[in-house]
Structure 1
Amino acid sequence: MAVAIAERQSLVAEAGTGVGKTFAYLVPLLLSGRRALVSTATKSLQDQLFLRDLPRLRDALKVPVRIALLKGRGSYLCLHRLAEARDSAQLPDRFAVRALARIEVWAQGTSSGDLAEIDGLDERSPVIPFVTSTRDNCLGQDCPRFRDCHVIKARREAMAADLVVVNHHLFFADLALRDSGVAELLPTVDAAVFDEAHQLVETGLQFLGSFLSSNQLIDFARDVVAAGLSHARGLADWTQVAGTLERAARELRLATAGPLREVKGVLKLRWDERAGRPEFHEALAALVTAADAARDAVLAVEDSAPDFTRLADRARRLSQLAQAFAQPAAVDRVRWIDLGPRDARLVESPLHIRDLFTEQRAAAPRAWIFTSATLGSDDKLSWFTDSAALEDATTLRVDSPFDYPAHARTWVPPRFPKPNEPGHPAAVGALAARLAGRLQGRTFVLTTTLRVLPLIAQALTDAAQAAGDHLVVLVQGTHPKRTLLQRFLDTPRSVLVGSASFWEGIDVPGDALQCVIIDKLPFPPPHDPLVQARSKELESR
């Protein structure tokens, strides 16, 4: 690590869980005195680095390094949208109203505006879109609260820091959209480190492609009504404009669903399953008409408020996306449809991120370090290096010092329902209750989808009660992640049931965690459109 930083090399390093990868790159970074960017997989891992690991090492090494945390704009309170939400937001229920009131109280005293500071605020709360901004609805320098903007403040602190902690989503979103400050920050650093680098390829593909969803239309319709009623009441029939957009969203959802009526979870459909149908193209045409009508309506009152200029840009972008999806895809890109219970998402993606990393590495000499516990099955770590155009990088593999055969067991239960069978969630819950009862709690149950999470949690609770085991079942979504983890550590006989955000970056030291149950391994199915497109590309080489 130290050599790569000093000589501005590219290094791909694989080391097993618990080896000490984090300190292995943080120590030489802090001692080098060089400006650095550290990117990790999730916001939770960001917080762990920024709040625990970096301060501890900085104090131990006694180095005067200024550190900063930079998240995406969706993590920060928007004071302008908070004021609008107070006046015109159509909140779904009384719980959302209470959450908004809590945010208003907290907003009076926060200096960072980071919503993660609020204990008890679920990261999936329906209030969050009302009080945060997106690239589409941010007013920039035209915003009346621009001088107090928490996003701008976080970017300024990042530009002034010696070491900045970001996440992969933010890194790629900024390179693709120039929206968060990383694009300005990256040219100024001497070293860029990517922890949990095995997630880079999939994360990058999400942001280098394009998508159009029915929820995008509904969000846009909601913002049109809010701005119209706040700044141009009576100058247009804003309810009718929004209603046309919402109908277009429903038609798009119905056209993509086709014969499917009750969709559970998210289905990934091949593009050719729907794209050839007349109703699909009719839905896209209706979307273009609705977006163009909304653009004309907001442009007619553009001088009333800066909000309308942004809304016109969003309408134009939605229309362009719908027209693009009505045309055939380029040969080096793949399309598919993500269909959920309430949303339909049209996705177009490149097949790899090789071009992006080639461009970034050629831009300026700096150290590029990629590390993870799983980067390949050979000494060249080809699985990762091939996909990220890093064949010329130095590679390093460090085995784990832990004696897994002596201290761990992996068990696949026989005669168990298959994951796609109706009885699978109940069987997982019953098994978890039996094992956790023997271990007096100290168990994680991890699911691959949010859909089955409450089913497994309820089955676990019922089975434990039937057996007379007084287990405390903690379920993701009932409290913030930090709160759940702390309760798991502090509460005897506890079991935590969680999904994606609990799969990695979780540190439970000692004997507090003795068993991890995974409902199914999260590999994409062979019929996944992106997997199929990559396979065809490999076969054609």
Structure 2
Amino acid sequence: MSLHDQVAAAFAQDGWLSRAEPHFRPRAGQTEMAMAVAQTIEDGGVLVVEAGTGVGKTFSYLVPALLSGQRVLVSTATKALQDQLYLRDLPRLVQALGLPLRVARLKGRSSYVCLHRLGLVHQSKVPLDPQVLRAVARVQDWSRGTRSGDLAELPGLAENSTVAALVTSTKDNCVGSSCAHWEQCHVNTARAQALQADVCVVNHHLFFADMEVRDSGVAQLLPTAGVVVIDEAHQLNETGIQFAGWVLGTRQLQSYIKDVLADVTLHARGLADWMQLLGQLEHALNEWRAVGAGIAPGSRLRWLGAAPEGVSDKAWRGGLHAVGQSLRALLLVLAKVAETAHALVALYERGARLLSQLASFAQPVPDDAVRWLEVTRLHLRLMESPLTIAHLMRAHMQPQEADDPAPQPSKAWVFTSATLGDDEDLRWFTETCGLRQAQVLRVDSPFDYASQAVLYVPEDIPEPAQQVAHSAAVAQLAGDGAAALGGRTLVLTTTLKALGAIGQQLQQRFGLLEPMDVLVQGQGPKHVLMERFRAGTLHGRGCILVASSTFWEGVDIPGDALQLVVIDKLPFPPPDDPLVEARSRQMEMLGRSPFADYMLPEACMALKQGAGRLIRRETDQGILVVADARLRTKAYGKRLVAALPPMQRIGTQEAWQQALLQLVQGSAPVLSIPASTRNEDDTSKDLG
């Protein structure tokens, strides 16, 4: 039986999935996507699929991939989604399909406890906070029984906690095969399992590490996979840019000085004048850092020429040169000493990488990259990023042979997400990732948005440029909606300034005496905020969540816990961001419009992601508010509305109140609006 026939049988009305999964129901869109994936696996090549919310894209790519008999690599955006695939979706499907497959999950070093680093905590000469020491003791107790070493298994330990940094390793501080715990190393064990598995689940960060860093063992994953699936592919470009770019900060160099001092004191005391060498480097670093003394903290300076804008070329080049010379002098001595003190080899290699990065920033900015300087109160951060990952992806997907100028990929590549573009060709995604020749498929969501939700664009909302008045109006509107619904409201902001203003006003309105909890991003761990919000009404108290950044996507709140999503304004990229400026200049050089071909598609995708938080199941109902009059008044508003799910659109205060009332009464907010209350742009129509 061909793969095509096997997949068709799996998704049939009485097929394998329906017999094994009690809640499985065949969906035309899901089956269409699965058959397209099967065809790509059989033929080889690249498939890009935008699968709307509710399609069930995970089963659509996993079933044909698992049935193919080929080695499969699945990459997704976050560790949380990685865990969901590994712990829930894959075990269910492997069992349902009766396949004896080995499944593994591989994360980066920072996810696994390092037994060597854990043992060093109590040897630190720097006194540690008692609370930190108690947390370390919890990690030690847990480490004696864990098999995976994955810190995500330890309840209550935040991923970015101080303790996590103390008990995990990095490529710089790993001591390698000389480690006493090398045989029991959880990172090595996870890598070995990944290399032996039939299906391996990674995240996008590790996917690019596999492509670019070529770390020991990990680099074998991608070449040996016959099927590569990139889920949540809309995040691929931004993740790839982080890996393909350069970041060098004065904090990194200071940390290196500190580590050199500690290691040479232990392994090479008296073998060189370390204090003089390190003192020269630290002096040069302080002099260079002083170049940014007159620049406001938080500034991001364009860097088009020899030095960042607003910084003296002579002072900048002199400072960079002095740091480079001092670092080189230290490395020359380290190289000689490391011949006998082998423990210093890793320290030398780390310094050599820093020197190489420093040298790259002394060169002119590449044509296809953007460079800028970030200034904080105490440090400088030198940043360089490519504008897209197109060259990187093409190089790894289509390795060119000398006698074959245009080879085709031999393996199957599947890229999928709920939002990949606002046109039929999905150019927003395919161009940035260098996939112009890919087969493209768009599968619409099965949800009936026209009968489940409405889009409210207020008529009398202040312009976003009036920041204070606009944030106040958004807070008032969100508060009114939450008061009527008993909470169930998610407010998504485009800036941290708006986040603070709206959150503060809502918290003032709903004090402790009101039956409402107002949660604000940054005032607690994300998972804690989400757990409270998903709980809905708790002990008679409703819930409002005000959030920005990561809450715009990847947040799944089905059911009545969320019935109102308020987006404060259209999410255009910030025009003063160095990366945005560089991409805009690139568009102009190509004779294209930066606004129409870059900024507007970016806003469409971000708006689509935010709106996607509202309806997550066939039975969900709710109101989406976009508190930005430009959606009604500007010509480009039609393109933005077209990117949204096809909801009924309303604009009057009366229609808003009626929609709220219907939600409160348990019915859908869709209205039958008299002609006298319609907007001039025919807001009562269902828009597609």
Which category of TM-score, normalised to the shorter sequence, fits these structures? 0.7 to 0.9
Q: Deviations over 1:487-513 (max 9, x none)?
A: 433462234455544333232222222
Distance 2:466 2:99 in 1: 54
Residue 161 of structure 2 is aligned with which of 125, 132, 136? 125
> Per the alignment, do residues 226 and 504 of structure 1 end up closer, same or farther by CA in structure 2, a change over 3 Å counting?
farther
Amino acid at match of 1:439: L
- Aligned residue for 1:320? 356
Task: Say whether the 8 Å CA contact 2:516–2:543 is kept in structure 1.
Answer: no
- Aligned residue for 2:418? 373
The share of aligned pairs that are identical, in percent, is: 49
Q: Does 1:442 align with 2:488?
A: yes
Task: Say whether the 8 Å CA contact 2:490–2:544 is kept in structure 1.
Answer: yes
Q: Deviations over 1:21-72 (max 9, x none)?
A: 2221112112222211111111121112112222222233332222111111
Amino acid at match of 1:50: Y
CA positional deviation for 1:367: 0.3
CA positional deviation for 1:87: 0.9
- Aligned residue for 2:63? 27
Residues 338-487 of structure 1 correspond to what in structure 2 (within 5 A)?
338-340=374-376, 343-363=379-399, 365-411=410-456, 415=461, 418=464, 421=467, 432-446=478-492, 457=503, 459-465=505-511, 468-471=514-517, 473=519, 478-479=524-525, 481-487=526-532
Task: Say whether the 8 Å CA contact 1:295–1:311 is kept in structure 2.
Answer: no
Amino acid at match of 1:34: Q
> Per the alignment, do residues 300 and 520 of structure 1 end up closer, same or farther by CA in structure 2, a change over 3 Å counting?
farther
**Greater C-alpha radius of gyration:** 2
Q: Secondary structure at the match of 1:387?
A: coil
- Aligned residue for 2:26? none
- Aligned residue for 1:526? 575
Amino acid at match of 1:166: V
Task: Say whether the 8 Å CA contact 1:269–1:338 is kept in structure 2.
Answer: no
> Per the alignment, do residues 376 and 163 of structure 1 end up closer, same or farther by CA in structure 2, a change over 3 Å counting?
same
- Aligned residue for 1:193? 229
Q: Deviations over 1:115-172 (max 9, x none)?
A: 2122111222123332222222222222222111111111111111111111111111
- Aligned residue for 2:556? 507
CA positional deviation for 1:369: 0.6
Q: Secondary structure at the match of 1:511?
A: helix
Distance 1:337 1:533 in 2: 14
> Per the alignment, do residues 347 and 419 of structure 1 end up closer, same or farther by CA in structure 2, a change over 3 Å counting?
farther
Counting matched residue pairs gives 537
> Per the alignment, do residues 416 and 329 of structure 1 end up closer, same or farther by CA in structure 2, a change over 3 Å counting?
same
Q: Does 1:78 align with 2:149?
A: no
- Unaligned segments of structure 1, at least 5 residues: none
Task: Say whether the 8 Å CA contact 1:198–1:374 is kept in structure 2.
Answer: yes
Q: Does 1:110 align with 2:143?
A: no
- Aligned residue for 2:203? 167
Residue 539 of structure 1 is aligned with which of 561, 577, 588? 588
Residue 95 of structure 2 is aligned with which of 59, 83, 89? 59
> Per the alignment, do residues 405 and 143 of structure 1 end up closer, same or farther by CA in structure 2, a change over 3 Å counting?
same
CA positional deviation for 1:370: 0.7
> Per the alignment, do residues 231 and 35 of structure 1 end up closer, same or farther by CA in structure 2, a change over 3 Å counting?
same
Q: Secondary structure at the match of 2:555?
A: coil
CA positional deviation for 1:17: 2.0
Task: Say whether the 8 Å CA contact 1:89–1:130 is kept in structure 2.
Answer: no
Amino acid at match of 1:145: H
Question: Of the two structures, which has the highest relative contact order with CA contacts closer than 8 Å and spacing of 6 or more?
Answer: 1
Distance 2:509 2:188 in 1: 50
> Per the alignment, do residues 517 and 323 of structure 1 end up closer, same or farther by CA in structure 2, a change over 3 Å counting?
same
- Aligned residue for 1:153? 189
CA positional deviation for 1:427: 7.1
> Per the alignment, do residues 10 and 347 of structure 1 end up closer, same or farther by CA in structure 2, a change over 3 Å counting?
same
Q: Secondary structure at the match of 1:98?
A: helix
CA positional deviation for 1:189: 0.8
Amino acid at match of 2:410: P
Of 102-111 and 34-43, deviating more is 102-111
- Aligned residue for 2:295? 260
CA positional deviation for 1:268: 6.0
Q: Secondary structure at the match of 1:352?
A: coil
The RMSD of aligned alpha carbons is 3.3
- Aligned residue for 2:38? 2
Of 127-136 and 422-431, deviating more is 422-431
Distance 1:434 1:248 in 2: 57
TM value normalised by structure 2: 0.70
Task: Say whether the 8 Å CA contact 2:297–2:376 is kept in structure 1.
Answer: no
Distance 1:22 1:419 in 2: 41
